[in-house]
Amino acid sequence: MHEMGIVTHLAKTLDELAEEQHITRIGSVTLEIGEVSGIMTDLFTDAWDYFKVRHPVLKDSELKLVTDPAVTYCGACGKTYETVKYGRTCPFCGSGETWLLKGNGCVIREIEAETEDMNQE
Amino acid sequence: MKVIELHRSVTESNDRDAQELRRKLKENGTFLINLMSSPGAGKTTLLSRTILDLKDDLNIAVLEADIESAVDAEKIEALGAKAIQVHTDGMCHMDAGMTRTGLMELGIEGTDLAFLENVGNLICPAEYDTGASRSVMILSVPEGDDKPLKYPLMFQKSDALVITKTDTAPYFRFDFEKCKERAKKLNPGIRIFTLSAKTGEGMKEWEDWLKEETAAWKK
């Protein structure tokens, strides 16, 4: 259900982008999925396949998923480390005063698209 | 085909809708609270008591979001507040577009304080901006003081935490200080209220906060 929600928002964002940039067809969408975003990639792909046929601009598009590694910052010693490997405790100094720097988001990196002016040429 | 580099958030269209809704609510003088919790934490009970206590001071409306049924909206309407039930059709959270549609349907002219009772879930609702003025999370004593450790995003995104069902404290091992400390660690600015909507204990502080925040929003 969580994945379906994200895909709904993704499709809406892309529909708006298509209108704004006069895109007629999207060939592929590359998404950066944070390692600790909680998104299940296989469920996400299923949800995408279900949705894309309902959006004319997206119907033949391919979804490319790229993992964005999670990094945590330690406030005590100032170093950064791999979140998934060490969790909340800094492997350098053992402190628990740590913050996730990145790796919990979901960002559209790029799309391949055909635009109206390309068709006219 | 050409490559268009975007680096845009997937939820960008929702973030824009949320900003627009917040602007509209500010213009209209309606303070909207996004109320989030797990199922059974006591959102409807807290709202019912709050409405009874505040209905002479403020014009209150409630947007009930559930996957199915209209039991919550019926309870609220029986108290004399305006209410509408929104069905999310299986979706685990409310977004800004759904919130706007619900509010427009309900009609918010003259409404001072509106509550969006989000779908009972501690995960997804935290990830979507609904356009609310403030987000408030409810945690009930029986759920346990370890919830900030398990659902950190919810605590980070909430402006206030309401710990409910304090009347059941003798039956559970709920460490209030530990829970507050955990929540503050995730979100140093979070306001914390402890109350029982059943006995009324602690309700005044919560209601005073609502009145102050509503008045500040209207300025």
Sign of CA dihedral B134, B135, B141, B142: positive
Decide if A82 is inside a domain: no
Mean pLDDT in residue range B39-55: 93
Residue B104: band (very low, low, confident or very high) from pLDDT cuts 50, 70, 90: very high
Question: Are B2 and A113 an interchain contact pair (Cβ–Cβ within 8 Å)?
Answer: yes
Query: What integer best gives the mean pLDDT of chain B?
Result: 91
Question: Are B8 and A21 an interchain contact pair (Cβ–Cβ within 8 Å)?
Answer: no
Q: What is the DSSP letter of B57?
A: T
Which residues of chain A does B123 touch, with a Cβ-Cβ cutoff of 8 Å? 2, 38
Decide if A53 is inside a domain: yes
Per DSSP, the three-state class of A83 is helix
Decide if A59 is inside a domain: yes
Mean pLDDT in residue range B145-168: 92
What pLDDT, in 10s, does the model give residues A71-100? 999 999 999 999 999 998 999 999 988 888
Residue whose tokens read 């004319």: A56
Which residues of chain A does B10 touch, with a Cβ-Cβ cutoff of 8 Å? 6, 9-10, 13, 31, 106-108
Amino acid at B167: D
Per DSSP, the three-state class of A78 is coil
Say what the pLDDT of residue A99 is.
Answer: 86
Report the distance separating Cα B114 and Cα B51, nearest Å: 11
Total structural domains in chain A?
1
ipTM metric: 0.79
Residues in A whose CB is inside 8 Å of some CB of B read: 1-2, 4-6, 8-10, 12-13, 16-17, 21, 27, 31, 38, 104-115, 118
Decide if A33 is inside a domain: yes
Among partner residues A5, A106, A109, which is closest to B124 by beta-carbon distance?
Answer: A5
CA of B14 vs chain A CAs: smallest distance (Å): 7
Question: Are A118 and B2 an interchain contact pair (Cβ–Cβ within 8 Å)?
Answer: yes
Residue B117 has pLDDT above 70, yes or no: yes
Which residues of chain B does A38 touch, with a Cβ-Cβ cutoff of 8 Å? 123
- Furthest-apart CA atoms within chain A: distance in Å: 62
Decide if A121 is inside a domain: no
Q: Enumerate long-range contacts of B169-178, CB under 8 Å, 24 or more apart.
A: B169/B141, B172/B141, B172/B142, B172/B144, B174/B141, B174/B142, B174/B144, B174/B145, B175/B145, B176/B145, B178/B145
Q: Do the Cβ atoms of B192 and B160 come closer than 8 Å? A: yes
Query: What integer best gives the mean pLDDT of chain A?
Result: 90
Residue A119 has pLDDT above 70, yes or no: no
Decide if A9 is inside a domain: yes
Cα–Cα distances (Å) from B210 to A89, A117, B180, in that order, read 38, 54, 20
Residue B140 has pLDDT above 90, yes or no: yes
Return the CATH number at A55: 3.30.2320.50
CB–CB contacts below 8 A, A to B:
75
Q: Which residue of A lies nearest to B7 if distances are taken between CA atoms?
A: A109
Which homologous superfamily does the CATH classification assign to the domain defined by B17-218? P-loop containing nucleotide triphosphate hydrolases (3.40.50.300)
The residues spanned by each domain of chain B are 17-218
Report the distance separating Cα B136 and Cα B192, nearest Å: 10
Residue B112 has pLDDT above 80, yes or no: yes
Decide if A55 is inside a domain: yes
A19: containing domain:
2-69+104-116
Decide if A79 is inside a domain: no
